[in-house]
Structure 1
């Protein structure tokens, strides 16, 4: 069992088992959402996750045109998990919210045409 939490600990998501996929996204929306140059998501089967605490939601279209509903803590503002419309059987969890340096590395890299020129993907080492 893995637990991801917001910065204040009010919103948690419990994930049973290993992620199906860990993806690093360079899209401009992930850059804006994280305040970094990319976002990293771990995708788990929907029936293997359970949210605890209160969340507000924000829904928007992805760069690819599919809707995504983000769940974030109303107290500290951390974006903890989201529901991608194009993957209805999955929940995506912000890898940083696990606060686990041993978490599996990304295996998929997307929107690389939006990657900052000085940024390096882990597989390019």
Structure 2
């Protein structure tokens, strides 16, 4: 099982399986979500084994450009965003790499795809070898096809 936790430690989640897709998102929301970087690092995995083993995550959401509803799952105390789910990708979650507690996964994480590169600041270089998508995952079909296009 892989574990993620919030900054204050009030919330801990576990899940299993390997990341299905590692991606860097440059959407306009990321700077506001992080309060710093104009991008985020994430991986897609199944929600099948997701367990909240400590705490109670708060959720909030909104409709994104694709028309899907994006739900954010975060700590109600410190505000750490642990993962996101989308109505467009049922049974999947985008885990925020900054909350992952697995040191090996953190050290070896390299995005396979970058999305919303139209928003990437000029001082942020493209990830070498990663598929570059001007908007979402490129084909309009989702993360699976982005990997197959690579």
Global fold match (TM > 0.5): yes
- Structure with larger Rg: 2
CA RMSD of aligned residues (A): 1.5
Residue in structure 2 matched with residue 68 of structure 1 by the alignment = 70
The runs of at least 4 consecutive aligned structure 1 residues that moved more than 4 Å come to none
Give the corresponding residue for 1:33: 33
Match of 2:120 among 99, 108, 115: 115
- Which of 105, 111, 130 matches 1:106? 111
Which structure carries more strand by proportion?
1
CA shift at 1:65, angstroms? 2.6
Structure 1 residue 106 displacement after superposition: 1.1
TM-score after normalising by structure 2: 0.76
String of CA shifts for 1:29-59, please: whole Å, max 9, x gaps: 1221112110121111110322232111111
Shift of 1:119: 0.4
RCO comparison, higher one (Cα < 8 Å, 6+)? 1
Superposition TM-score, scaled by structure 1 size: 0.90
Is there any run of 5+ residues in structure 2 with no aligned partner, and where? 130-150
CA contact (8 A) 1:5 1:97 kept: yes
- Displacement after TM superposition at 1:78 (Å): 0.6
What residue is the counterpart of 1:48 in the other structure?
Answer: 49
Aligned residues: 124
Structure 1: state its 5+ residue gaps: none
1:44–1:92 CA contact under 8 A, matched in 2: yes
Secondary structure at 2:48 match in 1: helix
Cα separation, 2, equivalents of 1:14 and 1:116: 34
